[in-house]
Structure 1
């Protein structure tokens, strides 16, 4: 506990630093005058940057570290939180709102993990940030938000409707406008979904949260009737098909799919079709008023799914 303060007390941030030291800029302020590390959380500002501070279901406060550009490192203020006990410092929290700071009380570090966020001022570029799991040592009287998603101990898989806002990038970069390529992918998904539904199939998406992660993965389509997992791309370049395969391998680990498919706007080059077939992935694309489905050899599909499930 900071001397002279009670949890819930409000004061100008400059006065906090005048009393206890620490940097006046940024979210973390290790003091050279007192044995404290100060941290400041601003939930509204964090949301605009695509990451979240808040309570998780483990009863701990999850706090994103400092560093606005590039992958965050366990240096400077982040290192001060990581080593606060070993250095004999208390960890003291504040909620920021404008120039006002509200004292939360004392915390201790329980652990940390890494997750994705976009760079400050650049919603198109993703990076890795560190998240500290903090246990309050005093009763918290200040209202703080809950995390949108708490890291689960086991993978969570659920069926969700096919809606544009259900995207991984929309979760990490909520203010970013969709790219033209993404719009083409969405239109392609819509057309193929209608085709499947006209055949009587039940079609949705899968929402997957891997163990220890705080951000969901979304398949483009999940054909419940055939248990096929489908990833769509708006172009047939090698890079885009490599990305599609990587995504299928990622969330496909948890899906229990019988087949995997890549949905594209036209037939890929022969070597790229061979590449996908080698991985046991079917290739689906429109042709005039119909759809072509180039199935991977049964042995490749079987071996691919066995390989996916083994991991």
Structure 2
């Protein structure tokens, strides 16, 4: 999609009235969909965000697909949601590709001289990250209460402005906070929820699906997520399809094992980690607070996935500390099937355990808690 529309280029500063004349949307609010202009306009105000406990902006650290812009969803108090009226703006972001709209980001820069009219700088057009469109994050709101917010991960689509003042401030200190585990929703995937049903190969296109099969209802949203073409192109269509299925399997596996832990009376959660000097926020897959065990889940038992999980859990576990628990947690990798025998030798070297799901659905491993019948 073209970035330069009606003379508005990334870096240009405009009032909201001027922006609406080009891209439509409502005169107020942070997330402003426009059906006529095929646009979802996202307004970021650094001052408002900081008071509400979050920052919007570029991550200083890029991944293998390039830069990421984090944008926090709608809802200034309480937990954010995709449900109902309160979640309508968040749904508009999530479904933008499905509905044929582009995301456009604006950040507030000041006011028109001699007036209270705010001005906004246009950053350009974006799309949601194809593998991880959003993450849940625990923040301390302006009322002092903790809450869960939706942080969308946006990828540039075309020319964008990446100004230094738009980079998220790095963490001043390293922190690891135990936070509630958040259920992954159907909206993170192209088709059926991760909690049930088969795992079909997703369509290899960013266009709206023509299939008559409907996504199953979900507690938060029944919307489908369309992988953008830019994502499929960078990873190749085959790799993008495989990666999407792996993420779905990982989510289903994590939720199933969490349910097993809780059936055994264990308390669960996850750790949200900020590392001094970095802008990214890390989040572990699953933590058993009862037995002080940290889990890293993967959607396959391949050597590549196990090696990735090994690196992640060795990294994360350094920061995990819990009241009443001594030292680092027990480290365990959660897999959908048993790995190759030599993988056990590798993991033993680093004192990392394995739990896998057997053909009959049971979880197998030394630290799997037994459920009293």
1:34-73 aligned at under 5 Å gives the runs: 44=31, 54-55=46-47, 57=50, 64=58, 71=66
1:94-113 aligned at under 5 Å gives the runs: 102-103=118-119
Deviations 1:137-169 (A, max 9, x none): xxxxxxxxxx9x864311232222222359xx9
Q: Partners in 1 of 2:356 and 2:246 — Cα distance?
A: 16
Equivalent position to 2:9, from 14, 26, 33: 26
Q: Partners in 1 of 2:274 and 2:41 — Cα distance?
A: 21
TM-score norm. by structure 2 comes to 0.43
Deviation at 1:261, TM superposition (A): 0.6
Deviations 1:62-116 (A, max 9, x none): 7659xxx9646xxxxxxxxxxxxxxxxxxx9469xxxxx95479xxxxxxxxxxx
Q: Partners in 2 of 1:71 and 1:40 — Cα distance?
A: 30
Counterpart check, 1:192 vs 2:257: yes
Equivalent position to 2:129, from 123, 130, 133: 123
Counterpart check, 1:272 vs 2:343: yes
Structure 2 counterpart SS, 1:234: coil
Deviations 1:153-196 (A, max 9, x none): 11232222222359xx99xxxx6669332222222112222222
Cα–Cα, structure 1 residues 206 and 267, in superposed 2: closer, same or farther, change >3 Å? same
Q: Partners in 1 of 2:226 and 2:277 — Cα distance?
A: 26
Are the counterparts in 1 of residues 262 and 268 from structure 2 also a CA contact under 8 Å?
yes
Which one has the bigger strand percentage?
A: 1
Deviation at 1:247, TM superposition (A): 1.9
Which runs of 5 or more structure 1 residues have no equivalent in the other structure? 1-12, 15-23, 30-37, 73-91, 96-100, 106-118, 135-146, 296-311
Q: Partners in 2 of 1:190 and 1:222 — Cα distance?
A: 12
Counterpart check, 1:263 vs 2:334: yes
Structure 2 counterpart SS, 1:28: coil
Cα–Cα, structure 1 residues 63 and 124, in superposed 2: closer, same or farther, change >3 Å? closer
RMSD, aligned CA:
4.7
Q: Partners in 1 of 2:318 and 2:44 — Cα distance?
A: 27
Which runs of 5 or more structure 2 residues have no equivalent in the other structure? 20-29, 33-39, 68-107, 112-116, 132-153, 190-224, 228-242, 322-327, 368-373
Runs of 4+ in 1 over 6 A off after TM superposition: 38-43, 48-53, 125-129, 175-178
Q: Partners in 2 of 1:228 and 1:49 — Cα distance?
A: 42
Q: Partners in 2 of 1:50 and 1:275 — Cα distance?
A: 47
Q: Partners in 1 of 2:295 and 2:43 — Cα distance?
A: 28
Are the counterparts in 2 of residues 154 and 210 from structure 1 also a CA contact under 8 Å?
yes
Structure 1 counterpart SS, 2:304: helix
Q: Partners in 2 of 1:249 and 1:127 — Cα distance?
A: 28
TM-score norm. by structure 1 comes to 0.50
